[in-house]
Amino acid sequence: MEGDVLMRTKHIAVSRSVRGGFGIVEAMVSLLLFGLFIAGACRLIVATRETVSRASDHYAAISLAKARVERILTFGFSQLEMMKQSNEPLDEYGNPVPPAEARFKMSTAVSSVTTNLKMVTVTMDIKDRITLEFDGEREELVTMISEPKIIIL
């Protein structure tokens, strides 16, 4: 009788170790690891989206600054001083908007280097998409413009 109980116990122990499958502990560990992977992937996606948005804002800012310089070049050398402006609020297309709706602030400075050479600096302040404040991100474009000289031979 003692031998029968021992054989049955041995048979149960062998049959449990031979059986395949997952226990509750293994399933919980795999769910935890999967959850950690998904959380890391989500953080990566959010960080990538913020980086792309920031790069897009900087691209738009430099494009608006280039458009401003192109417009300035259509004016005569003597009229460059009229192009000065300070912190004009603009939308993403370069249209003037109320300050609360602005994505950019454009400033244009004109300074004389010599009597026939002026330096035009266009500064674009970029609004942070999270804080909705102009907190220091900016693009700056500097151009030298000379007075054309007509030489008659």
Q: pLDDT tens across 64-101, in order? A: 999 999 999 888 888 888 889 999 999 999 999 999 99
- CA–CA separation, 46 and 106 (whole Å): 29
| Separation in Å, CA 100 to CA 26, 64, 78 | 54, 19, 34
Low-confidence ranges of the chain (pLDDT < 70): 1-20, 149-153
Q: Locate the domains of the chain by residue range.
A: 22-146
pLDDT for the residue numbered 90: 94
- Write down the pLDDT at residue 65: 95
